[in-house]
Amino acid sequence: MSLIHKSAADLGALIASGEVSAVEVAQAHLDRIAAVEPQVNAFLHVDAETTLEQARVVDARRAAGEDLGPLAGVPIAHKDVFTTKDMPTTAGSKILEGWRPPYDATVTRRLREAGLVILGKTNLDEFAMGSSTENSAYGTTHNPWDLSRIPGGSSGGSSAAVAAYEAPLSTGTDTGGSIRQPAAVTGIVGMKPTYGGSSRYGVIAFASSLDTPGPFARNVMDAALLHEAFSGHDVMDSTSVDAPVPSVVEAARNADVAGLRIGVVKEFGGDGYQPGVLARFHETVELLESMGAKVFEVSCPSFDVALPAYYLIAPSECSSNLARFDAMRYGLRVGDDGTRSAEEVMALTRAQGFGPEVKRRIILGTYALSSGYYDAYYGQAQKVRTLIARDFEAAFQQVDVLISPTTPTTAFAIGERADDPLAMYLADLCTIPANLAGNAAISVPCGLADEDGLPVGLQIMAPVLGDDRCYRVGAAVEKALEARWGGSLLSKAPAL
Amino acid sequence: MSAITRDEVAHLARLSRLALADEELDHFAAQLDVIIGAVARVAEVAADDIPPSSHALPITNVYRPDEVRPSLTPEQALSGAPAVEDGRFRVPRILGEEA
C-alpha cells in the first residue's frame, strides 16, 4: 500500500518507528497533490518548501529523542479560514486575497505543536457560506467520486483533499453542516464537536454562536485522533468550554453499540429525500439493531423550522461579523484615489471584495436585525432555537444518540443550484439542529445510492459534550459496514 | 405582496456599506423576496412564552486574569494594512468636504 493510502494512525506509527521519515510522507502527498489538483482543485495554497521544512523539523525532533504525539509527522490540510502565520489566509474571498495573518489560530498552533505537517490551505465557500464550494472566489472544487459534482461545502476543499488521497487529515468548520455535509457527499468521516469544544480563536468568523472547528478523515479513529489533538479549553476563546475533552479515541476503539438506545428522527425522511439515501439509511438502522442496539422512533417537532431559524440567525451574526472588513486595517481597498471618503471606499471595497452569497446574507441579516422586523425574525428565530434545544433534551431522556441521513441527497451537479439560494440551503436540512443547540454530531459513510452510485452519509447526534458517543456508534457502523463491503467505501471510488 | 421591495434592499445595502450596481439590486431584491418568504415560516411556531436563546451554551461573563501578555508588534499589526504612514494605518478622509 502506498503512503498516501495509509491511515493517519498508521502513518504516525510508521514515522514513530523510523520506518519512514516525515519528509518522505510529506513528499508522497505533495506528489499526489501535484498529480490530481488539476482535476480536483481542493487547495488554494500549497508551498512544498514550507511543508518539507516542517517535516524536516519533526524528523529532527524525533532524532533528538523527543517524545512526540501519535500524529507527529502526519500531513494535514487546513480549511482556509484557520489563520496560519506562514501561509496566506483568504476565507475564499477576494477581500482577503494575499493576506498573511500575523498569528496562528489555536487549532493551527496546537496541531503544529503535535508535529502535524501542513500541506496547504483548502478551498471553501466564501467565508464558509454555502454548501457546494461554488461560492469560492477562486473557482469550485470537484468531487473526487465524479468531477462534475460538488464536493459539498462550505469545507469542500478539505473533504475533497481527503477523499482524493491528497491529505490523510484535514480541518473544517461547521456552522450549519459545513463539515458533515461535505464528508457525507465525498464518502469520508466528518465531525462537528460540541460547540465550544474546539477553539474559534484565529478562525475567521461567520456566525460566532454556531461556528465549530472539527476534523475530516478517511476513518473514524483518525478523526478521533485529530479531534483530541486540537480540542480543549482555550483562554483566547471566551465561548470555549472549560471541561475535559470527551475521550473520543477510546470511544472509537470501543466500537460497540450493544444495549445502546438509538433514536431515529421522525422528521428527517420522506418527501424531498433521495430514495437511494433513504434506502442506505434504513439498511443502517437494521444493521444497528442486528448489532444489539435498541432502536426507537423519536419525534423532534421543532426540527421542521430549524432551517428557517438558521437562515435568520446565521445571516444576522454574519452581517455583524463581516463589518470588520472595512478596507482600513487589512485586506482589499478599492477606490482610494484621494477624492473619496472612507465611507465611499468602504462601500466600493465591500461591493467588489464580497461575492453574491456573502452580500445576500449581509443584507438578509441587516434586515432581520432592523427595528420593526427584529421581533418577527431574529427574535422569533431565537425562540425557535430554544425549542430545538428542548427537543434534543427530551429526546436524550429516551435515547443515547439520534440518527438521520446527513443530507437529503447525494452530491448534486456543479451549477445545478448555483443561482437558487433556497435549493442550496436545503442541503443543510438535517445538520442544522445540532448547530443551533450546540450538540456533537458526526457523519460516517453508510453506502452508495443506487441511482447514481454516490456516497451516502449517516449522521449520529449526541448531547452536548457527548462527542464520544458519536465516535463509538460511528466506529461500530464503520466496522460492520467495512466487513460487509470488504474495505472502505472510498476504496470503491473511481481512480483519479 | 412582496416581502421586501427593491427600495428596501437598496436602503439595507447602504446601511451595510455595499455599493451595489443596479443589476445586482434587481437580482438580490427578487431573491431576497423569496428567501424572506421562506424564513418567515418561523412565525408559524407558537413561542410567545419561550425565552430566546442567543447561544448554545449557558456561559456568561468569562474573564481572564488581568495581566500583561505578549501581543502583536506595531509592525505585525500593520503588516496587512492597505496603506501605512508613520507607523499608523493611513485611511481616506473621514469627514465631508463641508466639515
- The domain limits of chain B are 6-44
Omega before residue A93 within 30° of 0, cis: no
SS3 state at A269: coil
> What is the model's pLDDT at position A191?
98
**A288, pLDDT greater than 70:** yes
> What is the model's pLDDT at position B95?
79
**Domain-located, residue A313:** no
Nearest to B43 among A376, A385, A389 (CB): A376
Alpha-carbon distance B1 to nearest alpha carbon in chain A (angstroms):
17
Distance, CA of A169 to CA of A120 (rounded, Å): 12
What's the whole-model pTM score?
0.97
**A102, pLDDT greater than 90:** yes
Is A308's CB within 8 Å of B40's CB? yes
**Domain-located, residue A309:** no
CB distance A125 to A154 below 8 Å: yes
Interface test with B, best of A300, A363, A392 (most B CBs within 10 A): A363
Short-list A278, A171, A183, A284, CA closest to A229: A171
Owning domain of residue A121: 3-299+390-492
- Chain B residues with CB-CB distance to A422 below 8 A: 34-35, 38
Distance, CA of A58 to CA of A56 (rounded, Å): 5
**Domain-located, residue A345:** no
**Domain-located, residue A17:** yes
CB distance B16 to A319 below 8 Å: yes
Distance, CA of A183 to CA of A433 (rounded, Å): 17
Tallying the residues shown for chain B, one arrives at: 99
A154 is catalytic: yes
Reported as a pLDDT band with limits 50, 70 and 90, residue B99 is very low
CB distance A84 to A205 below 8 Å: no
For residue B44, give the C-alpha cell: 408559524
**Domain-located, residue A340:** no
In CATH, what number is assigned to the domain containing residue A445? 3.90.1300.10
A79 is catalytic: yes
Residue of B nearest to A326 (CA): B17
Q: Does A381 touch chain B (CB under 8 A)?
A: yes
**A269, pLDDT greater than 70:** yes
> What is the model's pLDDT at position A74?
98
Beta strand pairing call for A117-122 and A75-79: parallel
> What is the model's pLDDT at position A411?
98
Residue of A nearest to B21 (CA): A351
Query: A223-252 pLDDT, tens per residue?
Result: 999 999 999 999 999 999 999 999 999 999
**A126, pLDDT greater than 50:** yes
**Domain-located, residue A378:** no
Nearest to A239 among B12, B44, B59 (CB): B59
What is the topology classification, in CATH, of domain B6-44? Answer: Histone, subunit A (1.10.20)
Angle at A160 between CA A485 and CA A471, to 5 degrees: 55
Residue of A nearest to B12 (CA): A363
> What is the model's pLDDT at position B65?
85
Reported as a pLDDT band with limits 50, 70 and 90, residue B88 is very high
Reported as a pLDDT band with limits 50, 70 and 90, residue B63 is confident
For residue A386, give the C-alpha cell: 430554544
Interface of A with B in 307-326 (CB under 8 A): 308-309, 311-312, 319, 323, 326
Residue of A nearest to B77 (CA): A102
Strand partners, A262: A295, A401
Short-list A473, A401, A487, A410, CA closest to A439: A401
Distance, CA of A344 to CA of A217 (rounded, Å): 45
- Chain A residues with CB-CB distance to B20 below 8 A: 351, 359
The more confident residue out of A70 and B62 is A70
A266 is catalytic: no
**B61, pLDDT greater than 90:** no
Q: Does B83 touch chain A (CB under 8 A)?
A: yes
For residue A148, give the C-alpha cell: 462534475
SS (H, E, C) chain B: CCCCCHHHHHHHHHHCCCCCCHHHHHHHHHHHHHHHHHHHHHHHCCCCCCCCCCCCCCCCCCCCCCCCCCCCCHHHHHCCCCCEECCEECCCECCCCCC
**Domain-located, residue A67:** yes
SS3 breakdown of chain A: % helix, strand, coil, rounded to 5? 45, 15, 40
Reported as a pLDDT band with limits 50, 70 and 90, residue B1 is low
The more confident residue out of A127 and B59 is A127
Catalytic residue among A6, A7, A79, A192: A79
Q: Does B68 touch chain A (CB under 8 A)?
A: no
Name which of A49-53, A170-174, A430-434, B63-67 the model is least confident about. Answer: B63-67
**A325, pLDDT greater than 90:** yes
What is the ipTM score, two decimals?
A: 0.94
Is B36's CB within 8 Å of A370's CB? no
Q: Measured in Å, how far apart are chain B's first and last C-alpha atoms?
A: 43
Query: A341-362 pLDDT, tens per residue?
Result: 999 999 999 999 999 999 999 9
Strand partners, A136: none
**B96, pLDDT greater than 80:** no
Distance, CA of A411 to CA of A33 (rounded, Å): 22
Mean per-residue pLDDT, B40-69: 89
Indicate the number of domains in chain A. 1
Distance, CA of A250 to CA of A475 (rounded, Å): 11
Reported as a pLDDT band with limits 50, 70 and 90, residue A306 is very high
Nearest to B38 among A239, A308, A342 (CB): A308
